[in-house]
Chains A and B, each alone.
Chain A
Amino acid sequence: AQTVTQSQPEMSVQEAETVTLSCTYDTSENNYYLFWYKQPPSRQMILVIRQEAYKQQNATENRFSVNFQKAAKSFSLKISDSQLGDTAMYFCAFGSYGNNRLAFGKGNQVVVIP
Chain B
Amino acid sequence: GAVVSQHPSWVICKSGTSVKIECRSLDFQATTMFWYRQFPKQSLMLMATSNEGSKATYEQGVEKDKFLINHASLTLSTLTVTSAHPEDSSFYICSVEMGTRGEQYFGPGTRLTVT
Contact = CB atoms under 8 A, between A and B. Distances in A.
B93 to A, nearest CB: 7
A33 B101 CA distance: 8
Contacts of A107: 42-43
Interface in A28-49: 33, 35, 37, 42-47
Interface in B28-52: 32, 34, 38, 42-44, 46, 49
B102 interface: yes
Nearest to A33: B102
Nearest to B109: A43
A67 to B, nearest CB: 20
- Interface of chain A, main secondary structure: strand
Contact of B103 (A44, A50, A106): A50
- Interface of chain B, main secondary structure: strand
Interface residues of A, number: 20
Contact of A47 (B38, B44, B49, B103): B103
Interface in B76-114: 91, 93, 95, 97, 101-106, 108-109
B53 interface: no
Interface string A53-96: 00000000000000000000000000000000000000100010
A101 B49 contact: yes
Interface of A: 33, 35, 37, 42-47, 50, 91, 95, 97, 100-102, 104-107
12 contacts: A33-B102, A37-B106, A43-B93, A43-B108, A44-B106, A44-B108, A50-B101, A50-B103, A100-B97, A101-B49, A106-B43, A107-B42
